[in-house]
Each structure stands twice: as structure tokens, then as C-alpha cells.
Amino acid sequence: MYVAVKGGERAIDNAHQWLAEERRGDPAVPDLTIPQIREQMRLAVNRVMAEGSLYDPDLAALAIKQARGDLIEAVFLIRAYRTTLPRLAGSRPVDTGAMAVDRRISATFKDLPGGQVLGPTFDYTHRLLDFALMAEGATSGLGSPSAPEGPGQGQPVCLMLQAFSTATGLSRPPSLPTPRPPT
């Protein structure tokens, strides 16, 4: 523990207590729970997991709560925690052609096989505050999206762009580098 401050350990303990009081806010308001943060602030949780390089929605939600909503501090907490974990194994390449996607946009190809998928995005909102969300239990904008069109009628097919451009003659198949003899 860092104790080179006036007042030493007691001053640090008091600072921690003060921070906990600031984080909690008004005790008359119900405390945020980890499941609430995990489920209702999914974008923030995903960002903390991505930037922190650790997939654990509950830990990311805990970090957001501990950091008082400061995502940069939450990422720092997750990274610090990640360094305490043992490395379990290496990873193998993923077949991205078989993955289900929420969002797939191509600026290069307008008509991608499987189509483009906007997914849940802020790109087409007016970026104005929605005051209906301030009402208790409000579900502004909540409705069911229209059914997907095309083959499968479910999650979009995510064909690899390299395979598409090779099949249409836009590129050559990738070749493996020839190993050089040792010198």
C-alpha cells in the first residue's frame, strides 16, 4: 500500500471511505445491482470487456459500478485484474464464415452475399435526448424489428469477403508463403 502521504495509512483509508460514499450517492435511492448494469448498460459492459481484453460481463459490470460509471477507470480495473489470472491456453482460429453477426457493413461491396446488417446502432438516430426514458418502467422505442429477408430467415449468413472476391474474380486465392531454407 502506498503510504507516503501526510496522515499515512489512516488518510488513505479515509480517502477510500469517502470514495465509497461518493460512489454510492444518495442512500435513499436504490443501489444499482450488477445484473442491472450488465443487462441495461450492455454497450458499456461490452466496451469494458473489449478494451480490457477479458470476457466476463459480470466483472465488467462490477468494474463499471466500482468506477462510478467512468469507463476508462473500469477498463483499467479489468486490465489490472486480468494480470492476476493464469494463462490457461492458447486460442485457435475461428471460422468466421459460420459465425452469427449482429452488425455487418461493407463500404466496398454494396451487395454482399448474405446482405448488409445494420444491427442495433445509433447511426440513424437523431441523437436527441429521449425524455420518455425518464419515466419509471419506460420502454421508448421498444418494439419488434421486422423479420429478416433472404435465406435462413434467421441470423444472417456471414460469408468471408475473401471467398466472395475470389469467386467473382476480383482477387486471386491467397497463397501460403514458401518457406526459405535456413541460411
6-23 pLDDT, tens digit each: 667 888 888 888 888 888
Q: Are residues 103 and 40 in the same domain?
A: no
Q: Report percent pLDDT > 90 for the chain.
A: 32
* Matching residue, cell 454494396: 110
> Domain total for the chain?
2
Cell output for 121: 446502432
| pLDDT tens, residue by residue, 54-79 | 999 999 999 999 999 999 999 999 99
Q: What is the pLDDT of residue 152?
A: 46
- E-only strand ranges, the chain: none
Q: Are residues 102 and 169 in the same domain?
A: yes
Q: Are residues 28 and 52 in the same domain?
A: yes
Region of residue 101 (left: phi > 0; alpha: psi -120 to 50; beta: else): beta
Predicted TM-score (pTM) of this structure: 0.60
Domain that holds residue 121: 93-132+152-173
**Distance separating alpha carbons of residues 115 and 88, to the nearest angstrom:** 37
| pLDDT tens, residue by residue, 80-112 | 999 999 988 888 887 777 777 778 787 777 777
Q: Are residues 161 and 102 in the same domain?
A: yes
Q: Are residues 16 and 54 in the same domain?
A: yes
Indicate if the pLDDT at residue 137 is higher than 80.
no
**Distance separating alpha carbons of residues 132 and 43, to the nearest angstrom:** 20
Indicate if the pLDDT at residue 148 is higher than 60.
no
Distances (CA, A) of 89 to 56, 86, 94, 95: 17, 9, 15, 19
Out of 82, 109, 141, a domain closes at 82
How high does pLDDT run on average in the chain? 80
With bands split at pLDDT 50, 70 and 90, how would you rate the model's confidence at 163?
Answer: confident
**Distance separating alpha carbons of residues 64 and 44, to the nearest angstrom:** 8
